[in-house]
Amino acid sequence: MKLRTFLHKSGAGSRRFCDRMIREGKVTVNGRVVKEPWFEVDPEKDKVKLWGKNIKLINPKSVTYAFYKPVGVSSTLNDKFAEKTILDFTRDIGTRVFPVGRLDRESEGLMILTNNGQLANFLTHPRYQIEKEYIVYVEGKKINRDILRKLTKGVYTDHMFFKTTQGSATSFNR
């Protein structure tokens, strides 16, 4: 197994983080500094350390949680500017999970948290065309009929198309 994969599956961090730690010489295998992420390790025989701390491969069962993200919580695991992140809610569940998709800090709503990469890819990759539905309430601004008509036709943002339905459109403040 590649060293980067071993570290990532052990829960040490994201793939990018693990690659960076290896390249910076923070990882040893059997007492020797290894700087190649593709270095082959045997999880049964080799002793891997990160910052001098023993790292063991964990083989967690696939878990998936429905999480209702409150307003004020960042939907990432690590955000130095956020007061609270999803990680603050998942520290004690016994396995590392990551969010599927994003909600901005001022939004609330249901999110999927999982350690199953295949499920996350299936739910988020455009090729699978999984439909997501959002209900948006607009406050502090009058919505006239022209704006409402444009919203019901749909909105493009960052290569994504959002379309409101007639039922949802009535949710907008007028």
124, 120, 119, 102: which is closest to 111 by C-alpha? Answer: 102
Is residue 104 flagged as an active site residue? yes
Rounded Cα distance between 79 and 152, Å, is 34
* Six-digit token string for 15: 């793939």
- Which residues lie closer than 8 Å to 102 by C-beta, 6 or more apart? 75, 76
CA distances to 54, 97, 111, 117, 147 from 125, rounded to whole Å, are 35, 18, 16, 12, 30
CA 147 to chain centre: 33
Of the residues 42, 46, 92, 104, which is catalytic? 104
Q: State the catalytic residues.
A: 104
